[in-house]
């Protein structure tokens, strides 16, 4: 039989306070087994800024400050192998600014009052038109051991013909940043 406990008795309930961390945004993290965990989450929730390894403050969602980010980006750019500029499309490192002619580069440098050497140019690589992989396109609908050529041989042959034309003409659809840095010297 269960022991009898009266509503107003000390046995029924006793006051208890719980240790933990309250963040500035009103969230309570109880210490439970790991006070460090609770403190970290409360501080993270309540803060807006952190201190960078260099001592500068930065917004909490970045791991380092703007100055350190710029410095690291400069180092990454400098570490890319150099290739002489030969008039091919180039872009500014880590940007969506592309130049398709010397004139484009000169206009941009003049409008932004920036030296050619400071532009941090990257040689671009072409995005070629891809071939049609019709067996992949219809893989979900095709029976496991069949190809488009089994079901629709004329269409498979046309696709093959189209792919041959794509490989022969190699149309360039667009450009993407490549792996080499370059410099326009004017």
Residues that bind Zn ion (CB under 5 A): 52, 54, 56, 65, 68
CB of 48 to Zn ion, least distance (A): 17
Instruction: Quote the tokens at residue 40.
Output: 């970290």
CB of 55 to Zn ion, least distance (A): 7
Of 44, 14, 13, which is closest to residue 27 (Cα–Cα)?
A: 44
Instruction: Quote the tokens at residue 182.
Output: 């370059």
User: Do the Cβ atoms of 20 and 27 come closer than 8 Å?
Assistant: no
Choose between 66 and 101: whose C-beta lies nearer to Zn ion.
66
Choose between 58 and 181: whose C-beta lies nearer to Zn ion.
58
Strands 90-92 and 121-128: antiparallel
Choose between 67 and 139: whose C-beta lies nearer to Zn ion.
67
Choose between 55 and 143: whose C-beta lies nearer to Zn ion.
55
CB of 109 to Zn ion, least distance (A): 29
Choose between 56 and 149: whose C-beta lies nearer to Zn ion.
56
CA distance 183 to 39: 50
CB of 94 to Zn ion, least distance (A): 18
Q: For the CA atoms of 35, 38, 43, 44, what is the dihedral angle to 10 degrees?
A: 140
CB of 76 to Zn ion, least distance (A): 16
Distance of CA 9 to the CA centre of its chain: 61
User: Do the Cβ atoms of 79 and 178 come closer than 8 Å?
Assistant: no
């Amino acid at each position: 039989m269960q022991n009898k406990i009266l509503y107003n008795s000390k046995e029924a309930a006793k006051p208890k306070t719980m240790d933990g961390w309250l963040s500035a945004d009103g969230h309570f993290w109880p210490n439970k087994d790991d006070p460090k965990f609770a403190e970290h989450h409360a501080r993270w929730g309540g803060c807006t800024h952190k201190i960078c390894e260099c001592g500068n403050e930065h917004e909490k969602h970045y791991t380092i400050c703007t100055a350190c980010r710029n410095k690291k980006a400069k180092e990454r750019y400098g570490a890319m192998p150099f290739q002489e500029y030969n008039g091919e499309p180039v872009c500014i490192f880590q940007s969506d600014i592309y130049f398709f002619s010397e004139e484009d580069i000169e206009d941009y440098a003049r409008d932004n009052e920036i030296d050619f050497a400071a532009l941090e140019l990257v040689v671009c690589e072409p995005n070629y038109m891809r071939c049609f992989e019709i067996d992949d396109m219809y893989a979900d609908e095709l029976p496991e051991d069949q190809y488009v050529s089994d079901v629709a041989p004329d269409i498979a042959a046309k696709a093959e013909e189209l792919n041959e034309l794509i490989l022969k003409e190699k149309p360039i659809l667009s450009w993407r940043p490549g792996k080499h840095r370059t410099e326009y010297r004017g």
